[in-house]
Amino acid sequence: MSFLDLLYFIVPATIAYAAPLIFTAIGGVFSERSGVVNIGLEGLMVMGAFIGILFNLLYADTFGSWTPWIALLVAMVVSAVFSILHAVASISFRADQVVSGVAINMLGIAIALFSVKMIFGKGQTDLIQQKIARFDIPILQDIPIIGPMFFKSVYGSSILAISVALVAWFVIYKTPFGLRLRSVGEHPMAADTMGINVTRTRYVAVIISGALAGIGGAVYAITTTNDFGHATINGQGFMALAALIFGKWHPIGAMGAALFFGFAQALAISASKIPYIQDVPTVYLHILPYVLTILALAGFIGRANAPKAIGQPYIKGRR
Amino acid sequence: MPNRVLKILVPIISIILGLFVGAIVMWMSGYDAINGYIALWHGIFGSSYAIGETIRQISPYLLAGLAVAFAFRTGLFNIGVEGQLIVGWFAAAYVGMAFQLPTFIHLPLALLAAAAAGALWALVPGILKATLRVHEVIVTIMMNYVALHIVNALISTISGGSYKIDRIHQTASLRSEFLSNLTDFSTLHYGILIALLMVGVMWFILEKTKTGYELKAVGFNDHASQYAGMNVNKNIVLSMVISGAFAGLGGAMEALGTFGNISTMAGFTGIGFDGIAVALLGANTPLGVVFGATLFGSLKYGANNMPNAAGVPIEIVSIVIALIIFFVASGYIIRVLLNRMSKKKEAK
């Protein structure tokens, strides 16, 4: 395989693997920027993946080729509603946000598997028939080298993911809402004094994170696994969490990190075909994203500054 | 309402709420909730065999709970119990398989290997926290995945490409004919005694030693401890290492007692994550962990009886467990409500 062939193979795979991570990590950026830790991303993704597959199986006949897209929307709504649990616990009930997140993770997988058993009578669903179609982007695909790499047989969901990252950057850094979001995460007291409704802002942020994680989970299930079982989302949510920390709580940074993790996954899957890499035991490629995250946290890649008020419930009137 | 009473009431109310919401879920899904819970009860206590299996299931939960609780007492959140348990499982299974020694050396050696492996796995987040102030939650989560992949790779290498390694030698086994016969040939093994011994060890360390006092002091207020001349960083590392050793022993229960070997895993065992719930319910005290582990071990084993006896999917118990964690975490609101109710009573 020539180097160029290799790139034609690995770049699209990288983007395909990165898309779910991008959605989810951006969701995490919203939540954590408002000061609410969201370890529950994994559970929210599980819920999204389950709903995405379930809707796809139930309504494929009704909606035809539109099914996967409507499935994404439904998954988004259901995960957003599910994330309200985390919001209520960690914002209103002052629960430990990490514990609440752990509960969300367990609850997500438990509810999804319970429902699968109930509906299908077995541990996993059937395979879906309506998948997200790959398509070639006209004109751009004819650009030499770059065309086949980035614009041939791409998933619509990947383009959507990258747009979401750009929109998130604009929202967080260029709009009044973004300013409020960041101030609530840095210094809720000061924000409250300035008339910003801390509780409402945090609720909105957590719900956005649920919505995006729901899309992320559904995209992963619909493009990669095509069914839902107990191992469908195995650590994707935690990887998204890692991407957001790796990306220093910045939407574009998170996207970059997600792309990198996508690359690591694509590499691990296709390692056997690549010269040199095929001699590296796959276990090193599997643990690469996690080890890198630990190194990044340890400051070898530059200190990341988490939002200052992260993890603390805001209690009005207490200094 | 006095704080002591609240500390016991909040977990109890959480358990009741969890079971209640679980019943609603069953009822809404068209299952008979009462039959479901009766099946659960029979699954736990129905026969001496069931009781034996339930107790067997409790031992890893005890150790996982101790691990989380111990770290928590120093103000550390060890979500990496799962990974530490997996490396402990592997270490015990490997030592049990690879050596041929008399029992009185072999068994302690295998247990020690498991504890050491778990401790080593927890050492990394401990050191990173102590020296670079890296948050242990994220590091321990990442270490879980590293453990899973590395152990799977090691199993494959050692067994020459197979999905499991050879069984441990009899000399390293925790299996007990006596306990097995006592409980109608269940797989109950001596692990439960080791787990209970460790409950005592944790109590002793925390309540009777200088180290334990320092660990607790650091957990309460690390600045004050520093000012009082305690070495906060050393205590952080020490706490993680001891916590990891408990978790590693939890893996040894599975390796030397229940399964007698280790196979590659598609995902996590879940015991380490449930350990968080066990510790939370037990308010991070040794005795509390015994109650928490008993509850979760029983629920987990008893659930196996639900599909056959009542047609309810096993996963309902996972839902109940998750809900209980959720309610315990939201203890603040339960306290507020309880206080309001007790004030109303006083007003009357």
CA distance B326 to B341: 22
Q: What is the DSSP letter of A135?
A: E
Q: What is the DSSP letter of B175?
A: B
Give the residue among A44, A102, A37 at the shortest CA–CA distance from A237.
A44
Boundaries of domain holding A57 = 3-300
Chain A environment of B82 (Cβ under 8 Å): none
Beta carbons of A102 and B79 less than 8 Å apart: yes
Contact (CB, 8 A) for A47 and A108: yes
Angle at A74 between CA A73 and CA A77, to 5 degrees: 90
CA distance B27 to B44: 22
Beta carbons of A111 and B330 less than 8 Å apart: no
Instruction: Please report, for chain B, the start and end positions of each structural domain, with discontinuous segments joined by +.
Output: 1-31+312-347, 56-311
Query: Does B153 contact chain A (CB < 8 Å)?
Result: yes
CA distance B236 to B217: 11
Q: What is the DSSP letter of B133?
A: -
Query: Does B130 contact chain A (CB < 8 Å)?
Result: no
The CATH number of residue A188's host domain is: 1.10.3470
* Residue A256 placed within a domain: yes
Query: Does A39 contact chain B (CB < 8 Å)?
Result: yes
* Residue A317 placed within a domain: no
CA distance A255 to A239: 12
* Residue A268 placed within a domain: yes
Chain B environment of A242 (Cβ under 8 Å): 138, 142
The stretches in chain A having pLDDT less than 50 are none
Nearest CA of chain B to the CA of A37: how many Å?
Answer: 11
- The CB density around residue A7, as the number of other CB atoms within 10 Å, is 15
Residues B304-326: b if buried by 16+ CB within 10 A, e if exposed: bbbeebbebbbbbbbbbbbbbbb
DSSP per-residue letters across A72-108: HHHHHHHHHHHHHHHHIIIIIS---HHHHHHHHHHHH
Amino acid identity for residue B341 in this structure: M
Q: Into how many domains does chain A fold?
A: 1
The stretches in chain B having pLDDT less than 70 are 1, 348
CA distance B340 to B342: 5
Nearest CA of chain B to the CA of A295: how many Å?
Answer: 9
Best probe of the B interface among A297, A301, A314, A318, by most B CBs < 10 A, is A297
CATH topology of domain B56-311: ABC transporter involved in vitamin B12 uptake, BtuC (1.10.3470)
Give the residue among A6, A1, A8 at the shortest CA–CA distance from A149.
A8
Structure tokens at A103: 């509960």
Give the DSSP H or E segment for B151: helix B136-158
Best probe of the B interface among A287, A305, A314, A315, by most B CBs < 10 A, is A287
Q: What integer pLDDT is reported at residue A114 of this predicted model?
A: 93
Nearest CA of chain A to the CA of B28: how many Å?
Answer: 12
Query: Does A318 contact chain B (CB < 8 Å)?
Result: no
Beta carbons of B138 and A242 less than 8 Å apart: yes
**Strand A154-155 relative to strand A134-135, pairing:** antiparallel
Beta carbons of A297 and B266 less than 8 Å apart: no
Query: Does A107 contact chain B (CB < 8 Å)?
Result: yes
Query: Does A139 contact chain B (CB < 8 Å)?
Result: no
Q: ipTM score of the complex?
A: 0.88
Nearest CA of chain A to the CA of B68: how many Å?
Answer: 12
* Residue A13 placed within a domain: yes
Give A122: exposed, middle or buried? Use CB within 10 Å, 0-12, 13-18, 19+.
exposed
Q: What integer pLDDT is reported at residue A274 of this predicted model?
A: 76
Give the residue among A292, A282, A315 at the shortest CA–CA distance from A246.
A292
- Restricting to A residues 115-134, those with a Cβ less than 8 Å away from any Cβ of B are 117-118
**Residue among A88, A93, A287 whose CB faces B149 most closely:** A287
Query: Does B90 contact chain A (CB < 8 Å)?
Result: no
Chain B environment of A85 (Cβ under 8 Å): 326
Nearest CA of chain A to the CA of B22: how many Å?
Answer: 11
Chain A environment of B25 (Cβ under 8 Å): 114
